[in-house]
A and B are shown apart, each in its own frame.
Chain A
């Protein structure tokens, strides 16, 4: 069975890729993912905002209350060197590259144009095989138009793509007025892959404490429908590879995404739930399905049920009233 696929210009042994999660926070974790059969590993995201807060917090606490009272002019030793999270992240990339043979794709979430590029360059320098730009932001400024936000995203991708030599993937949200148009524009801006879609953790209200709290929910298989639809629609219309992410929990889910047109399928929630070894299970399921359905390679599968190749292309656009449509068609016959 030929499971190989290509993603960001690399040939992967399997289309099942570990997406950004705490499992890639250590070299051992990354090795376990490789051992389980991951085609590539996307590392956990480096958040610029988090780095900023980390530095400011450190600076605040090192300074707070100092040079005020004569017996205690400071409260902490002053280390000769700090290893900030970005330094540790870059170190992890280098170490991971030394220990695994599958591609290591870094993930970055920036907040300022200059720093997107700066960190991207550092990541390239550290030896990453590719870079996934995690375009996560919640625009809350009522004076900012959708078009402006879209342009900012495009500008970011353009800037990073022209600044680094490694292939760049863009992980994006589905919340654009015209997803297809944006996909095309990212493609044109130089993205070598689109990762569909970023999942936004939504805050929750705790009714007991009456507080707003982050409440991280792992994805469920239901989440796969949205990326599957758009991958199917976009297949053949853009040059960039498409990575499916969200709700892929096993080999059968992966099979669906490949049929829709994905180059790779990414897993995080299922791995957090079942452990890294679940990649091997999923791979087995995929192979079983392929054998049952007499597919011999992933290439053969890719896009076979995309909108372009589906028996009923409209199905991807009219899911809301498909039942009515089907009934109508039946009556017409």
Chain B
């Protein structure tokens, strides 16, 4: 029996078993299951063997559908094979799952169960996905905790080999997959004991082999399909016994006994809750608590949901039960009830032997990781105590529309005093979460205590807030819900203090630790009034530390993790102080040792420097502060923003009732402007005297916080003295004033604008036309100036030459203040689209980074202009985005066609002049579109007075006569991999769509997994050993169609070429594809100077710039224009700039040397090919003959 304890999360706990028990692992990233694939890839890259001494073959596929196909094939060839997935990924596997089960194939898929995208996408946990595969013929085995997930991974594998029924082993996404807990590890002997070699050999022997050929997968006809489908029944009948036998064998080995349907609670319980997954833990603990007080309640945990063993299920219930609640963590709109409720009703109907048939009700809970607390369990038991318990109820929300929700008394708590509960509020990436994970390990591995950690992250990628929930106690911790009664609360980021209520979760006499620049004698007066009140009322012990100062003095920069960790141990008393310090130091050496002694040294220094800077604050008896909490949105925001979005921003979204929400997922545009996040410690300040008004700063600004306007001098009336303006330099704008204004509260402080600025102060060459300066001293003044700037009229679009960056950048961006990373390389391209074409664009956005910063609540960045026009945006899925956008194009074209038909039919009533002008409008430029809009307005006026059905229809469709752009936007994971088939089809369709591929060369949104766009030699997740193959040339593939406009751009290398490509692509009346180099945090680069990386990529030939315009072909010109020159620098100069390449030299120098050389060869070959294609003579009609 394994005796080793370890603290790890659910994903790792499962992957450790799955890796050991399989020979082939097909992977594809999807949250929250990606980490299982990442672990497998990393272990394979470091040559870790499986149980049988061989290294499993880990292969990444282009989609979950591809992974499922690969798994099916590998199983058919006789290998032990697995995969990991969730949510839409599991849905993509369904066709193969039917096949695998139909062929009675032993296999286990491990699923971190997650919501499905419906009215909105959610990455969080529930059972919506696994419930969709219940008819595939796969077993469904549910684990409820990290320990169970580890154990069931083995039990499922053992059972499937014997039963020949494939299994989905699932556990709750995030709640279990990401919870860090102390568990008892299974060792190789445990696994070996559970794996029957004969069954494995049998599995191997069932594989395809020319040595004993057979055919499997025949096509069957009406005469036999039905009977053949029924042949599997004995296997399903036998399966529950086999699983229970495996559980019993497992219990013999480990002492941990599981049952398919496991009852906990009073033997004579009258009220019972039935459920699956992590909620079981909460329900069990609550039942224990209630029974200890004389209650008669119980909980039935469902482990085996398919094949459903009705008899065992019913027999597990106490015969005394009077009322039962079947809780489903999913929703099946329109159904007779949710799936497990329906199953349970059937089972009880078929098998109940008791005297009185119990009342059975169904309820929904916990969708998208919605909290499921003891108070909610209590509410369910209370409901069951009613004479007529409410059926089809919900718990955990306030449903004021369907009135399904149960009332919950949130003051009910069962948290025992023996458990230390700590909350930590950190700034994303400040190291808080990492330090807390480390603390859990220290406690879990150095004391007999059990430990649990769960981490709540923000939906923004920059400047986000993290909340760590840590529990430590002498007994196993069964509390998969957030902490609301904390003994210890730490605020690691002082700017959060006046924006979020942190102390309402503090227990009386608890500890509050604040990281602040203010010392123990000064801090009190800086606290908001509410915070002072809470500290006094709850008699909190209050400590302060200037962690940033300690971190900086220790060489740690802004990472305060180690400092705050030491404070926690010093104050909390979880461990004796000396022991804790020693354990932290030991852990530092273990964690950072392989990255070098410098890193270890600075962390150790931080440990030593912390305690002398940690101070207790003498709390005054009275509240004295005049500082108020900052409202989440300004009072000027629209009602919906105030009431709904503002509540979400304040982190109180859980209390918003159903009635407040849009019914169909439709939200207003342009709401990021109300969420003033004040992330930047420094912001750019414009020096108009130095500025050459080139517009580059505004162009590259990822968050659209640098704006340009040229306007009449008279508009300056009322400007403050600090509002900067100078006469325009552009002679076409002579007589106008010019301003570059920064949005001080929306800027993330990335500094990329300063880096790109070409204008330098002649006497101080370290200064430019934009220079970073501390934000707080100028915030107030610049807020006033920003508001004044917004009030200035927009530069007339008809007076802007879009081919010149300096003028074009005066166009208003209709994409602003997104939640993208500071310095993001994607967003400038999207912003450019919205500036150039936003008022006439619909956007189909693939799931990924761009859909998250583009569409994640609470606030979203796509906005509209003063006329109310702006991009209309929608996200369908990850894999279908090209088709999604194509559908929009087809519909818009059809609508235009209908409008034209009606217009022609109504010409007599409308008038020939207007009709012909509308029909023959040239809308190739801004002026033409403007005129058409005016004509359409006129048309609508005329139609108002016309009563015919045709006229009414035309009034509805008249806008379709105005040019509409369709932009299909997504990342390389979509375009190169999962969506490539659709993209290929759409490009081949000839339709006028514009495809923008934001090419970061990895799956950025899920943490940097390899795609087919990843360049050779780059280290990425799923390519821990460096990518051995060259990047796919998507542009070249598209060019082979001949009628697709293709451009490859890199804004940081040649912004003029980028601008030209976007204008040409939009103008081209056919499909266009722009592949845009997008630097990314996942490259391991300095984001502030990332444009230099783009330039280096082009200068070394790693990234070619070109435009392929089929229109040139019709003029007898070569359609391909190379916009970059022959490589002038060795590729190594570029590779050395990025950690993704450098890492390989540090992990596998020999492989790096070889792959770098091959990558250089790629450059040479690619240049030769493109140089040939671009320079070959080209005759008329594409004949390829010299003219």
How many residues on A have C-beta within 8 angstroms of the other chain's C-beta atoms?
35
CA distance A79 to B1143 in the complex (A): 9
- The residues of B that contact A151 with a CB separation of less than 8 Å are none
CA distance A69 to B434 in the complex (A): 13
- The residues of A that contact B597 with a CB separation of less than 8 Å are 55
| Docked-complex contact B1084 and A76, CB < 8 angstroms | yes
| Docked-complex contact B1082 and A84, CB < 8 angstroms | no
In-complex Cβ contact of B1147 among A52, A57, A81 (8 A): A81
CA distance A65 to B1024 in the complex (A): 19
In-complex Cβ contact of A70 among B457, B557, B1019, B1082 (8 A): B457
A75 at the interface (CB under 8 A from B): yes
CA distance A81 to B594 in the complex (A): 6
| Docked-complex contact B1081 and A75, CB < 8 angstroms | yes
| Docked-complex contact B1081 and A64, CB < 8 angstroms | yes
Query: With A67-B433, A67-B434 known to touch, is A82 a contact of B594 (CB < 8 Å)?
Result: yes
Which single residue of chain B is at the shortest CB-CB distance from A118?
B597
| Docked-complex contact B1008 and A64, CB < 8 angstroms | no
CA distance A81 to B1146 in the complex (A): 9
In-complex Cβ contact of A76 among B557, B1085, B1140 (8 A): B1140
Q: Which of B32, B1020, B1147: most chain A Cβ within 10 A?
A: B1147
| Docked-complex contact A67 and B455, CB < 8 angstroms | yes
B1149 at the interface (CB under 8 A from A): yes
- The residues of B that contact A64 with a CB separation of less than 8 Å are 429, 1081, 1084
B460 at the interface (CB under 8 A from A): yes
Which single residue of chain B is at the shortest CB-CB distance from A210?
B765
Binary per-residue interface labels of chain B (445-466) against chain A in the complex, 1 for a CB within 8 Å, 0 otherwise:
0000000000101111100101
Which chain A residues numbered 59 to 96 have a C-beta less than 8 Å away from chain B? 59-84, 88
| Docked-complex contact B461 and A69, CB < 8 angstroms | yes
| Docked-complex contact A69 and B464, CB < 8 angstroms | yes
B1042 at the interface (CB under 8 A from A): no
A179 at the interface (CB under 8 A from B): no
Question: A53: shortest Cβ distance to chain B, in Å?
Answer: 9
Question: A316: shortest Cβ distance to chain B, in Å?
Answer: 44
Question: B581: shortest Cβ distance to chain A, in Å?
Answer: 22
Which chain B residues numbered 1048 to 1107 have a C-beta less than 8 Å away from chain A? 1081-1082, 1084-1085
A58 at the interface (CB under 8 A from B): yes
- The residues of A that contact B1149 with a CB separation of less than 8 Å are 83, 88
Question: A144: shortest Cβ distance to chain B, in Å?
Answer: 22
In-complex Cβ contact of A65 among B31, B46, B821 (8 A): B821
| Docked-complex contact B1081 and A65, CB < 8 angstroms | yes
A152 at the interface (CB under 8 A from B): no
| Docked-complex contact B1147 and A79, CB < 8 angstroms | yes
Question: A172: shortest Cβ distance to chain B, in Å?
Answer: 27
A54 at the interface (CB under 8 A from B): yes
- The residues of B that contact A83 with a CB separation of less than 8 Å are 1146-1149
| Docked-complex contact A77 and B457, CB < 8 angstroms | no
A56 at the interface (CB under 8 A from B): yes
- The residues of B that contact A81 with a CB separation of less than 8 Å are 46, 594, 1147
B494 at the interface (CB under 8 A from A): no
Question: B353: shortest Cβ distance to chain A, in Å?
Answer: 47
Which single residue of chain B is at the shortest CB-CB distance from A53?
B598
| Docked-complex contact B1139 and A76, CB < 8 angstroms | yes
CA distance A74 to B431 in the complex (A): 12
CA distance A74 to B429 in the complex (A): 10
In-complex Cβ contact of B596 among A58, A66, A68, A210 (8 A): A58
- The residues of B that contact A322 with a CB separation of less than 8 Å are none
In-complex Cβ contact of B1006 among A63, A71, A78 (8 A): A71
| Docked-complex contact B599 and A70, CB < 8 angstroms | no
Which single residue of chain A is at the shortest CB-CB distance from B436?
A67
Which chain B residues numbered 387 to 432 have a C-beta less than 8 Å away from chain A? 428-429, 431-432
| Docked-complex contact B428 and A69, CB < 8 angstroms | yes
Which single residue of chain A is at the shortest CB-CB distance from B465?
A68
Q: How large is the interface on B (under 10, 10 to 19, 20 to 34, 35 or more residues)?
A: 35 or more
CA distance A155 to B594 in the complex (A): 31
Question: B754: shortest Cβ distance to chain A, in Å?
Answer: 15
Which single residue of chain A is at the shortest CB-CB distance from B595?
A59
CA distance A54 to B595 in the complex (A): 9
| Docked-complex contact B1143 and A58, CB < 8 angstroms | yes
B1004 at the interface (CB under 8 A from A): yes
| Docked-complex contact A68 and B466, CB < 8 angstroms | yes
A218 at the interface (CB under 8 A from B): no
Which chain B residues numbered 16 to 40 have a C-beta less than 8 Å away from chain A? 31-32, 35, 38
| Docked-complex contact A75 and B1007, CB < 8 angstroms | yes
In-complex Cβ contact of A84 among B35, B596, B1148 (8 A): B596
- The residues of B that contact A78 with a CB separation of less than 8 Å are 42
CA distance A70 to B599 in the complex (A): 26
| Docked-complex contact B596 and A55, CB < 8 angstroms | yes
Which single residue of chain B is at the shortest CB-CB distance from A65?
B1081
In-complex Cβ contact of B595 among A58, A73, A75, A77 (8 A): A58
- The residues of A that contact B1023 with a CB separation of less than 8 Å are 77
- The residues of A that contact B464 with a CB separation of less than 8 Å are 68-69
Q: Which of A54, A56, A79: most chain B Cβ within 10 A?
A: A79
Binary per-residue interface labels of chain B (364-380) against chain A in the complex, 1 for a CB within 8 Å, 0 otherwise:
00000000000000000
| Docked-complex contact A77 and B45, CB < 8 angstroms | yes
B707 at the interface (CB under 8 A from A): no
Which chain B residues numbered 1124 to 1176 have a C-beta less than 8 Å away from chain A? 1139-1140, 1142-1143, 1146-1149
| Docked-complex contact B1139 and A68, CB < 8 angstroms | no
Question: B551: shortest Cβ distance to chain A, in Å?
Answer: 13
Query: With A68-B461, A72-B1007, A77-B41 known to touch, is A59 a contact of B1139 (CB < 8 Å)?
Result: no
In-complex Cβ contact of A210 among B760, B1007, B1008 (8 A): B760
Which chain A residues numbered 83 to 128 have a C-beta less than 8 Å away from chain B? 83-84, 88
Which single residue of chain B is at the shortest CB-CB distance from A68?
B428
Q: Which of A55, A62, A210: most chain B Cβ within 10 A?
A: A55
| Docked-complex contact A67 and B466, CB < 8 angstroms | yes
Query: With A73-B1007, A79-B42, A82-B1147 known to touch, is A56 a contact of B1021 (CB < 8 Å)?
Result: no
A51 at the interface (CB under 8 A from B): yes
B592 at the interface (CB under 8 A from A): yes
- The residues of B that contact A54 with a CB separation of less than 8 Å are 596
CA distance A89 to B152 in the complex (A): 47
Binary per-residue interface labels of chain B (517-535) against chain A in the complex, 1 for a CB within 8 Å, 0 otherwise:
0000000000000000000
| Docked-complex contact A71 and B596, CB < 8 angstroms | no
Question: A61: shortest Cβ distance to chain B, in Å?
Answer: 4
Which chain B residues numbered 544 to 603 have a C-beta less than 8 Å away from chain A? 557, 559, 592, 594-599
B852 at the interface (CB under 8 A from A): yes
Query: With A67-B432, A68-B464, A82-B1147 known to touch, is A75 a contact of B1024 (CB < 8 Å)?
Result: no
- The residues of A that contact B1148 with a CB separation of less than 8 Å are 83
- The residues of B that contact A67 with a CB separation of less than 8 Å are 428-429, 431-434, 455, 457, 466
- The residues of B that contact A63 with a CB separation of less than 8 Å are 429, 431, 434, 559
CA distance A79 to B1146 in the complex (A): 10
CA distance A93 to B1147 in the complex (A): 19
- The residues of A that contact B466 with a CB separation of less than 8 Å are 67-68
| Docked-complex contact B434 and A72, CB < 8 angstroms | no
CA distance A49 to B434 in the complex (A): 28
Which chain A residues numbered 229 to 288 have a C-beta less than 8 Å away from chain B? none
* A-B pairs, 4 with minimum CB distance: A68-B428, A55-B596, A72-B1007, A67-B433
Measured CB to CB, the residues of A under 8 A from B are 51-52, 54-84, 88, 210
What 4 additional pairs, Cβ within 8 angstroms, besides A57-B1139, A72-B1004? A73-B433, A77-B41, A80-B46, A210-B765
21 A–B contacts, CB within 8 A, in A order = A51-B596, A62-B1084, A68-B466, A69-B457, A69-B460, A70-B31, A70-B457, A70-B459, A71-B31, A72-B461, A73-B1007, A75-B1021, A76-B1084, A76-B1140, A76-B1143, A79-B46, A79-B1143, A81-B594, A82-B596, A82-B1146, A210-B765
Measured CB to CB, the residues of B under 8 A from A are 31-32, 35, 38, 41-42, 45-46, 123, 174, 178, 428-429, 431-434, 455, 457-461, 464, 466, 557, 559, 592, 594-599, 760, 765, 821, 852, 1004-1008, 1019-1021, 1023-1024, 1081-1082, 1084-1085, 1139-1140, 1142-1143, 1146-1149
